[in-house]
Structure 1
Amino acid sequence: MELIICEKPKAALQIALALSDGKTTKRNYKGIPFYEIKHKGDSITVGAAAGHLFTLAEKEKNKWTYPIFDIEWKPIPEVNKKAKYAKNFIDALSFLAKKATSFTIACDYDIEGEVIGWNILRFICKTEKASRMKFSTLTKPDLLKAYENKLPTIDWGQAHAGEARHYLDYYYGINLSRALTNAIKSAGSFKIMSTGRVQGPALKLIVDREKLIKAFVPQPFWQIQLTATEQNKKIIALHEKGSIFDQNEAKRLFEKVKDAKEATISDIKKKTSKQLPPTPFDLTTLQTEAYRCFGISPTQTLSIAQQLYLAGLISYPRTSSQQLPAKIGFKRLLNALAKNPNYTNLANQLLSKKTLSPRNGKKKDPAHPAIYPTGIQPKSLAKNQQRIYDLIVKRTLATFSESAERQTITIKISCKGENFIAKGTRTTKPGWHLFYKPYVDLKEEELPELIEKQIISVKKIELLKKTTLPPKRYTQASIIKELESRNLGTKATRAQIIQTLYERGYIQGKSIKATELGIALIETLGKYCPSVLDEKLTRRFEQEMEEIRENKKTTEQVISEAKKILTKILNEFKKKEEAIGKSLLAAKMEQQREEETIGVCPICKEGVLRIKKGKYGKFIACDNYPNCKTIFNIPKGAKVSPTSEQCPKCGFPIVIIKQNK
């Protein structure tokens, strides 16, 4: 009997249905489903994991000592008591492996999927011999093709690179986190602190931006704005000098023109530019677009895309590719999408073209194409699933469309010897915009039809005072884009790294702000262990793992180098542990004070409302007790977040209360 090993139960079902000659028999072992089928007369069992079933851990527990390098793969339930579910998956695969005479790995074809499959082979099946299915969609044609063209072995380059990544991440994560936690313990407190190989440089980017914002000094400037109307359309023009930082100069120019009642069109320039269709989605561009269009976080987007993939609706989402190869069958895909009433008209428009060719991007992925819909009709999708699916379909359709054209009109207006500039932009040929509605983010700013030397009526001229703005804070979308541009982390891990920074209390808010603790961590590491934050070192390891994948380097070479670097870092850290701890503790206490402060008490107007802990849980009370006895209960298990806003009716600070599920 051949045992096909899949990464998830839903994938196992799809593969069983695709390969079966007819009947698919569902059975289970300890509640874990597996499928028995016949394929061309041969008996096949399709079983599943639940993602990673093994994790790295210390061979012997050493509590909070460091450095730790003596580690090994262990079943997840032995390491994480909350992962008891994994034991039944391990037992089920062990039960099936004993009956198998051959094995095929059908986990996701990427580094993580290879590690999952390899670990199951060596630790459960007690072999490393297996065939490998390679596919990018869970559709019947792709799965049949992948099975008939199985690779003779697993992808050893991916497997070794993946294992090296796990070792590096564990070494950095466990050792640096223990060092930080020990440091804060040495200062007389306790808090789980963490950083990592990519987490540190990622947080540094956010902290550096925060420092720029805090150091920013707004500069006043002035603009002179002319407002006119023609053909019932408003014309807004700015003085040709734009932003004027000399107040006296701005006032002089304003005094010269402020009483003008008319102006003359002195020049009109029209420029038409082409807008090429968008490229297909890779994971990062899908995440950034989903955040822009719907406010869905990158972590959520990946989760939803994975659900759509397992349902057979889209191709594999963890891809770096922005290219759609011809082998996916463009005409077949569009014909399938045309059967969906939501896309019938758009797909048919593209099918009427003589040739079908997507506008592919530059980015490639050796394992998978860009993200695209398979053409299978969705049956019932949740709101956000439907949103992400529609975004992927519209994006794919738009890549096959024509360029759009936009016309920019620049008008020079003469008024009392001074020139003002008005600009308008409009779409003259929608092209791909029609296919990407409503996700096209372009403003139409039309100006009235004007001719040179035409006199227009001036409604008002204003002297506007403005100030320069600080740099923008990162959003979850823009920070993962920044990490990608710097080659920090992987397409599949960047969103989770940012999520970890939130969970550790290092950052907060949709517009990401570094907390006092996050700033202190980066400043402390920068002072005592700067190499932990070194982007170049992180990028070097990323490059070396790619060289492992390409069989140019061995895992042992990279791991040995990492141990030497990390040992040096940790030895330096130990020498300065107390100073590091004091610095972090001060920041922790300050952040805790901020998080507990609700606002000024509107009753006594002297005390401050703070979150306090009592015998029966948390509550909010005025710190001017016993002079002021203002007090509020907090629901058990709820999280309270101050808003710095006040109720207009009673004057009490407004808080957000989130009840833990």
Structure 2
Amino acid sequence: AKSRSESDWLVGINTTRALTALNSKGGGFFLTTAGRVQTPTLSILVEREQQIRAFVPKDFWEVHATFGAKAGEYEGKWFDEKLAEQKAAERGAEQRPERLWSKERAEEIVGECRGKTGEAHDEKKPARQLSPLLYDLTSLQREGNSRFGLSARRTLQIAQALYEKHKAITYPRTDSRYLPEDYLEVAKTTLENFSGTEYGEFSKTVLKNGWLKPTKRVFNSAKVSDHFAIIPTMQIPEKLDEIEMKVYAAIVRRFIAVFYPEAIYEVTNRITRVGEHAFRTDGKILKEAGWLAVYGKEAVEEGGGEEGKLLVPVAEGEKVKTVAILAEGLQTKPPARLTEATLLSAMEGAGKLIEDDALREAMGERGLGTPATRAATIETLISEEYVRRLGRELMPTAKAFGLFETLDALGIEILQSPEMTGEWEHKLKEIEHGRMKREDFMREIQKVAREIVEKARAFEDKDHVLRKLDFKDPQSGQEFEETLREYRTLDQRYAVRKVLAGRRIEAHEFLELLEKGTMGLVDGFRSRLGRPFSAGLKLGEGRKIELVVGEEEGTLDFTGQESLGQCPACGGRMFMSQLRYVCENSVAQPSTCTFKVSKKILNRDISVSEVQDLLKNGKTALLEKFISNKTRRPFSAFLMWKDGKVSFDFPPREPRKPKSAKTAKARAGAAA
């Protein structure tokens, strides 16, 4: 543990200082953090975003048919039987059996099958689904994100409160999904404790049917490290808020469900042959709910799957008629961006990305980071503006791509992939087993840190061109190229710095400045004290990019501009300037009014119509997608004119649902 923490700190602090110094050479301060876990985690997001950007959609067609049988109608989809026999890895992700890459071929199949008679054959088989394993922290965070929209950090905070404040669950910062083998009696007592609560009927069912057994799937000491899986304690909590109750309920239901039998389905695979063409219809019917019953009616219905509807019965070899058929044109879709849930899975399973067996085994035990640190890693990437939340999706920023461009230019590969972390973990494991000396390992780490610093110190940006840009300088007609620190013309007579006040100016923003000379409010700048602020941009003397943080009184000319409405403070006319909506009297000489509304509030653009709504009614409609400076989470609010200024007004919260009689009774009993 000491070697791990010291090596992480040594490489992280030296790399961060070296990269920050390099990126700040042109002036200003551009904090560029890097680390053993943080940077390979970011590489997962950057690689996915590169796949999305490089994706080119392709047109394809599917043929859908409706068949009439004696008992009714059912749907079927054409598929290529030969392609269906191949494994997905062999044929490629896009080459699916139901896809046709020629519209003519799809319409040909439609013509050959329209109105024709076919023959249906059913194959039925049972399918079983085991209950999920007990939660460790990472799986609980994934669930919190996918089901409740919680960040990994927020889920950890809630779990920590349930553990420390309410004493309702066991230690949450665990990487085990199993219980010790001597915990059978504790599990029994815990199940009995839920008698009389909303979970009582399910816990009683486990005990009554003798389902509490010492199975290795639940009780396995070999898979318990310092701490075991997250389960409820004997303390039934009181006064939980709504989201705490959701997380607690998820832990309780998972604990009870793990002892239930598997869910059993009947899966029907129907093949309808019309001439030489085959159509597939899949049905999946839940026969025995098993553990799904613990999650209630909604989960049981979801358990039936999308094909959970009952297929109309057909006799073996029954003749059916093609009642309707059509070719549907579609397009392939790019891979989805990662959410916190899918990124946590990628971090946990990062070892699978490594080809070397020994390194993969070393990573397999830990993945990237630990359950207790993964949430903090994600939050760090967001706070350092490498990653931006878009709803539930995580999108790397230009700063993230710039980091990897810098690492590539410097030839620093050690921080760019899970292989480095795998090698690191492998050597730490060797120290743990006495096969490597700690001093030798730390000597290697010091050498790595020195090499990174020396590469950054010796680097010259002038000759390192990242790419040519697809626009020209309006004045000289020269094409532009991009280096790590500059946008410059090919003859190098005109160049501008890419980083201004701690923010990277993107290529499309530079193009807008070249074309218009100015640009409205832009987020992401940082003051010398590190505080975020927004500002406009302009091309100043020598066509250098400059910040516009205020508009000088008396310099604004609203001639020919239509008034947006009446100022609520003084009755003057309201107009739009580059950065804000202003009262004409607030920019007059001398100024007699102070009323102004920024064109961007908490990362959200405020439109003309929204300002007009505010001026006319004193309040806007409910506006979405403001971003909290404190939590970086989106929220909705009204803007309203009150006490001489514009402020937020929030919609009333929905009343909490009343507690069930059973829960209230159980809590009363616990209190007694």
Q: TM-score, normalised by structure 1?
A: 0.66
1-structure distance, mates of 2:535, 2:62: 53
Matched residue type, 1:176: T
Distance 1:456 1:278 in 2: 41
1:90-126 deviation per Cα after TM superposition (whole angstroms, max 9, x unaligned): xxxxxxxxxxxxxxxxxxxxxxxxxxxxxxxxxxxxx
Q: Which moved more, 1:233-242 or 1:522-531?
A: 233-242
- The SS at the match of 1:373 is coil
Pairing partner for 2:16 from 174, 177, 181: 177
Unaligned runs of 5+ in 1: 1-160
Quote the Cα distance in structure 1 between the aligned partners of 2:104 and 2:398. 41
Q: Quick one: which amino acid aligns to residue 346 of structure 1?
A: F
2:257: which partner in 1?
398
- Matches of 2:399 and 2:369, distance apart in 1: 23
Counterparts in 2 of 1:371 and 1:229: CA distance versus 1, 3 Å? farther
Deviates more, 1:527-536 or 1:636-645: 636-645
- Cα distance, 1:585–1:606 mapped onto 2, change above 3 Å: closer
Which of 545, 548, 552 matches 2:428? Answer: 545
Check if 1:322 corresponds to 2:177. yes
- In the TM superposition, what is the alpha-carbon distance from 1:235 to its structure 2 partner? 2.3
> Which residue does 2:192 correspond to in 1?
335
Letter aligned with residue 335 of structure 1:
E
Task: Tell me the distance in 1 between the aligned counterparts of 2:503 and 2:256.
Answer: 48
Does structure 1 residue 236 correspond to structure 2 residue 91? Answer: no
**Equivalent residue number for residue 342 of structure 2:** 478
8 Å contact 1:531–1:569 — kept in the other structure?
no
| Residue of structure 1 equivalent to 2:374 | 494
1:506 and 2:386 aligned: yes
The reply to whether residue 532 of structure 1 matches residue 390 of structure 2 is: no
CA distance in 1, matches of 2:299, 2:154: 19
Query: Secondary structure of the equivalent of 1:492?
Result: helix
Q: How much does 1:379 deviate?
A: 0.9
The 1:239/1:232 distance shift into structure 2, 3 A limit, reads: same
Q: Give the alignment's Cα RMSD to 1 decimal.
A: 3.8
What is residue 369 of structure 1 aligned with on the other side?
Answer: 228
How far is the alpha carbon of 1:457 from its aligned partner?
5.8
- Work out which of the residue numbers 303, 310, 315 in structure 1 matches 2:157: 303
- In the TM superposition, residue 609 of structure 1 has moved relative to its aligned partner by 4.9
For the 8 Å contact 1:279–1:361, the answer to whether it is kept is no
Give the aligned partner of residue 465 of structure 1: 329
**Deviation of 1:223 (Å):** 0.6
Answer yes or no: is the 8 Å Cα contact 1:221–1:467 preserved in 2: yes
Please name the residue that 1:294 is paired with: 148
2: distance between equivalents of 1:237 and 1:173?
Answer: 56
1:453 deviates by: 3.8
Matched AA of 2:454: N
SS at match of 2:393: coil
- Per-residue deviation, 1:380: 1.3
* 1:431 shift after superposition: 0.9
| Alignment-mate amino acid for residue 191 of structure 2 | L
Q: Which amino acid in structure 2 is aligned with residue 244 of structure 1?
A: L
Q: Deviations 1:464-511 (Å, cap 9, x if unpaired)?
A: 111112122111111121111122211211121111111111122232
Tell me which residue corresponds to 1:383.
242
Q: 1:553 to 1:331 in 2, by over 3 A?
A: same
2:292 to 415, 433, 436: 433
Question: Match for 1:313: what amino acid?
Answer: A
Structure 2 regions of 5+ residues with no counterpart?
81-97, 351-366, 465-481, 488-497, 523-533, 537-546, 562-574, 582-595, 614-619, 631-672
CA change 1:322–1:411 in 2 (3 A) is: same
CA distance in 2, matches of 1:393, 1:417: 53
**C-alpha distance in structure 1 between counterparts of 2:606 and 2:386, whole Å:** 18
Total equivalences in the alignment: 485
SS of 1:411's partner is strand
Q: How far apart, CA to CA, are the structure 1 residues paired with 2:338 and 2:138?
A: 15
Matched, 1:209 2:110: no
Displacement of 1:461 in angstroms is 1.3
Query: Match for 1:421 among 265, 271, 280?
Result: 280
Task: Report what 2:453 is aligned to.
Answer: 570
- Find the counterpart in structure 2 of residue 640 from structure 1: 603
SS at match of 1:389: helix
Map 1:30-49 onto structure 2 (within 5 A).
none
Return the alpha-carbon distance in structure 2 between the equivalents of residues 213 and 639 of structure 1: 28
Aligned 1:440-455 pairs, distance under 5 A = 442=303, 443=305, 444-455=308-319
1:83: which partner in 2? Answer: none
Q: CA deviation at 1:272?
A: 0.9
Which residue of the partner structure matches residue 218 of structure 2?
Answer: 360
Q: 1: distance between equivalents of 2:329 and 2:605?
A: 33
How far is 1:536 from its partner? 2.2
Contact 2:179/2:219 (<8 A) preserved? no
Equivalent position of 1:71 in the other structure:
none
Q: How far apart are 1:658 and its partner, in Å?
A: 3.6
Contact (CA 8 Å) 1:405, 1:428: kept in 2 or not?
Answer: yes
Deviation of the 1:385 alpha carbon? 1.0
Matches of 1:582 and 1:544, distance apart in 2: 37
Task: Kindly indicate whether the alpha-carbon contact (under 8 Å) linking 1:186 and 1:577 is maintained by their aligned counterparts in 2.
Answer: no
**Residue in structure 1 matched with residue 4 of structure 2 by the alignment:** 165
Give 2:45's aligned amino acid. Answer: I
2:68·2:323 contact (CA, 8 Å) conserved in 1?
yes
Q: Percent identity?
A: 26
Distance 1:607 1:191, change over 3 A: closer
CA distance in 2, matches of 1:408, 1:291: 30
Note the alpha carbon deviations across 1:614-646, whole angstroms, 9 max, x for none: 899779xxx999886624355699522459999
Cα separation, 1, equivalents of 2:136 and 2:170:
11
The aligned runs of 1:548-559 (5 Å cut-off) are 548=431, 555-559=438-442
Letter paired with 1:462: L
